[in-house]
Structure 1
């Protein structure tokens, strides 16, 4: 896909992977709308994009609500005059033992990470099909490929989004809309700020800009997936498919330290 002039909506586009992707797309000539729940964060993100020469605007809305999704899509299509690329990037996470999770925390992850992208994609498809060629980009997580302990709900919703992407890709095959699924590994973003786990338990963080560059390369090449983490991550993914009990044993060996490091991880 030629990114020049493409009309792009990025949810959760005010920081982290979303904002880095907006900057990378702007450098390739895309026209942007970024969204977020906080008006001041949206305004700051848009100002920084415009300062760098991007054509950008913003919508302050909560995509986990029907009203927020309607406002998001209406604001984007009015501002851009249509839509070519939808990037479902907004996310929420809470780690810890399932028995320690409040119901509202579980429901927030389900609504933000799974229900919102499904319903926003459904609403956006007519606009995406109306152009010369559209794309849906779903930002999931490497946890969808290797489910880590103490992230049971987050792993479930990210795996659900991954399967949604795969199914939708096949549903839309030949109809002018492509689907790209992105699996970031640990990324240095505000969403990870409360995670105290380190490299000793597998939480090495890469810059958001590296993930963004990979997403943009995936869009440009019409890829179907982007998996971050390098050869070590791929080896663990392969091992999880071939011998999941070996991965169980690996997590068991670091279980106490892992739990201690991630129990404070919350970004809802």
Structure 2
């Protein structure tokens, strides 16, 4: 009986940016818990490659070409999902980008692009699925936030601003729609070993570890980078009935960084 609370049998889960990395790992975990998976991608090549990778691990997923910053494309995608799989029960707002540029060198266009994908798109996606969740009487929205929802750091002004905004959007959705039995929570990954962070982990020409790699290892009580699989359990928990009284919370999966002041020099 206790295990049933984590079952997602019959649920429809839409994971934005679910073609690789964190999104793929969370979608896989949701599928293994019983959910039917849909994901979006802006590239046909990446979409088709992801579909093949899902197939290889025994998951039947539906992939859609959709730019989540475009409301009309999102409406078309969610309508198609409703026809083929059913109304979305679980939305994971995972799609995102980061640009590592000093703020005074960041163009307004670059800043706006990051905010558009990392903050405006989750708003557009949530707006599209909430009416169906209200009609069904339940729903789960998981926004992929960041430690930068809490902390600042050099060169990521746009990303930190967007993720801080996403944290507050999460709390507001929880406040506004909790009475409809819709829970909106966030997952705040720490530093995760993905293609996006590979440049920060790549050994230097002399074979030594990248200085930022050394920094992260020293600041993480777990003494390692996270893996996409570390987000699987939190995603299933927040998508399942086990979290029905958890709302407006950001679950940081960071190996303890936010709790740690660091070693004395």
TM-score > 0.5 by shorter chain: yes
Matched residue, 2:232? 212
**Matched ranges for 1:246-261 at <5 A:** none
Matched residue, 1:233? 258
**Preserved contact between residue 90 and residue 239 of structure 2 (Cα < 8 Å):** no
**Matched ranges for 1:11-30 at <5 A:** 11-30=16-35
2:198 matched to 1:193?
yes
> For residues 230 and 32 of structure 1, do their structure 2 counterparts lie closer, same or farther at Cα, with a shift above 3 Å needed?
same
**Separation in structure 2 between the aligned mates of residue 47 and residue 200 of structure 1, nearest angstrom:** 36
Matched residue, 2:177? 172
> For residues 102 and 194 of structure 1, do their structure 2 counterparts lie closer, same or farther at Cα, with a shift above 3 Å needed?
farther
**Matched ranges for 1:1-268 at <5 A:** 2-195=7-200, 198-202=212-216, 205-220=225-240, 221-222=242-243, 223=246, 224-236=249-261
Cα drift, residue 68 of structure 1: 2.8
SS of 1:35's equivalent in the other structure is strand
**Separation in structure 2 between the aligned mates of residue 212 and residue 102 of structure 1, nearest angstrom:** 35
Cα drift, residue 94 of structure 1: 0.2
**Preserved contact between residue 36 and residue 59 of structure 1 (Cα < 8 Å):** yes
**Separation in structure 2 between the aligned mates of residue 92 and residue 199 of structure 1, nearest angstrom:** 20
**Preserved contact between residue 192 and residue 228 of structure 2 (Cα < 8 Å):** yes
Cα drift, residue 132 of structure 1: 4.7
**Separation in structure 2 between the aligned mates of residue 129 and residue 121 of structure 1, nearest angstrom:** 12
**Separation in structure 2 between the aligned mates of residue 140 and residue 124 of structure 1, nearest angstrom:** 19
**Separation in structure 1 between the aligned mates of residue 9 and residue 137 of structure 2, nearest angstrom:** 13
Report the more deviating stretch, 27-36 or 51-60.
Answer: 51-60
**Preserved contact between residue 190 and residue 255 of structure 2 (Cα < 8 Å):** no
**Preserved contact between residue 142 and residue 238 of structure 2 (Cα < 8 Å):** no
Cα drift, residue 72 of structure 1: 2.7
Matched residue, 1:265? none
Deviations 1:233-267 (A, max 9, x none): 3235xx9xxxxxxxxxx9xx9xxxxxxxxxxxxxx
**Preserved contact between residue 92 and residue 113 of structure 1 (Cα < 8 Å):** yes
**Separation in structure 2 between the aligned mates of residue 193 and residue 76 of structure 1, nearest angstrom:** 33
Alignment coverage as a number of residue pairs = 239
Matched residue, 1:259? none
**Preserved contact between residue 7 and residue 80 of structure 1 (Cα < 8 Å):** yes
- Runs of at least 5 residues in structure 1 that lack an aligned partner in the other structure: 240-249, 254-268
**Separation in structure 2 between the aligned mates of residue 180 and residue 73 of structure 1, nearest angstrom:** 21
> For residues 230 and 18 of structure 1, do their structure 2 counterparts lie closer, same or farther at Cα, with a shift above 3 Å needed?
same
**Separation in structure 2 between the aligned mates of residue 195 and residue 128 of structure 1, nearest angstrom:** 39
- Runs of at least 5 residues in structure 2 that lack an aligned partner in the other structure: 202-210, 218-223
CA RMSD of aligned residues (A): 2.2
